[in-house]
Amino acid sequence: MDALADNTPIALEMKRYGSTTKLDQRELQGEITEAARVYPHLQLWVLVTTTGLDALAAQALRDSAAAQGLFVLILDNTDTQAELPYVPSIAAVCAGYPEITLQGITNPDWHDRKRSSLMPPRQEVHDELQAIRALPRFPQWHERFRTELTTLPLEPFITKKQNRRLAQILRYEARTVFGTDFDASQVVPRTAKQQIEAWFQQAIKTYTSRTFTRPFPPPAAPGVPPAPPALPSVAPARRLARPARPGRRHRQRGCRGGAAERRC
């Protein structure tokens, strides 16, 4: 493993070979296994190579990583050929982020001491990156690359990794973590999925029985129009007398001789 991100569970493996040199599939699988063992929090393993990887080897690599809860992203020299012919994938990625690339090549901590004398001038690298960015279909490739990175299906791999880690804890570290030994013979298989489905089916059955078992009126005789539904009985509205306020004079009608004043 050549690089490990600081705050994200991503590891990089870089292989710089000639265009005709084939990658060693067993070596790559061994490096994935070693990375998963040393860094159990890893979620994504990225292979960046200057040569190609055939479809069968790429799928075998993904299957090997998936068994360990890792997702593999491969950037070889064939990834950019649809939009950017003859442009290596690593060069296209660098062109997508030129400022970061230029910052990295000018940082002595990132230099390979054996190859530092072969490092091209900064301006030359800048001009080459701008030339790649000026290609007509570079925006399409860059957008596809960004979409692929942001929609990686990591959730199943994370779940598998967490399950493997929990099984490891139960088998070897139960007394340290939980304060008691783990006895596999006492395990009762349960799944939340089955319980949720049972609850949902029971809720559907209850709702259906309440909705469709209400009494309906008997059917009307042939040729007789059905009676209109009975309107709900409503008591006639009546005007409520406003209560008199203490100490206030008011007039009371209905007395002989006209209105009479009285104090409440």
- What digits encode the pLDDT tens for the residues 85-142? 888 888 898 999 999 899 888 888 777 777 777 788 889 999 999 999 999 999 999 9
Q: Does residue 16 sit within a domain? A: yes
Task: Say if 38 falls within a structural domain.
Answer: yes
Residues 184, 182: Cα–Cα separation, whole Å:
6
Which pLDDT band, with edges at 50, 70 and 90, does 259 fall under?
very low
Confidence at residue 239, expressed as pLDDT on a 0 to 100 scale: 52
Across the chain, what does the average pLDDT equal? 76
Residue 42 forms part of a structural domain: yes
In-domain check, residue 161: no
CA distance linking residue 106 with residue 122, whole number of Å: 7
154 burial level (CB within 10 Å; 0-12, 13-18, 19+) = middle
Whole-number Å distance between alpha carbons of 11 and 34: 12
Structure tokens that stand for 188 in this block: 């009762």
In a domain, 238, yes or no: no
Confidence of residue 235 (pLDDT cuts 50, 70, 90): low
**Residues of the chain with pLDDT > 90: what percent?**
11
What is the band of 168 on the pLDDT scale with cuts at 50, 70, 90?
confident
Residue 63's closest CA among 93, 33, 100? 33
pLDDT number for residue 86: 85
pLDDT (mean) for 63-69: 84
* 208 domain residue, yes or no: no
Split into its structural domains, the chain has a count of 1
Whether residue 242 has pLDDT greater than 60: no
- Residue 223 located in a structural domain: no
Of 54, 109, 107, 98, whose CA–CA distance to 76 is shortest?
54
In this prediction, residue 6 carries a pLDDT of 64
More confident residue, 257 or 203: 203
**Residue bearing the bigger pLDDT, 191 or 88:** 88
Instruction: Among 35-44, 105-114, 209-218, 250-259, name the one with the lowest average pLDDT.
Output: 250-259
What local confidence, expressed as pLDDT, does residue 241 receive? Answer: 52
In the predicted model, is pLDDT for residue 197 greater than 50? yes
Q: Which of 8-17, 175-184, 229-238 has the lowest mean pLDDT?
A: 229-238
Rounded Cα–Cα distance for residues 131 and 244 (Å): 93
Across the range 246-252, mean pLDDT stands at 50
Ranking 9-13, 77-81, 194-198 by mean pLDDT, the lowest is 194-198
Q: Is the residue at 243 inside a domain? A: no
pTM: 0.53
Query: Residue 48: left (phi > 0), alpha (psi -120 to 50), or beta?
Result: beta
* Domain assignment of residue 122, given as a range: 3-153
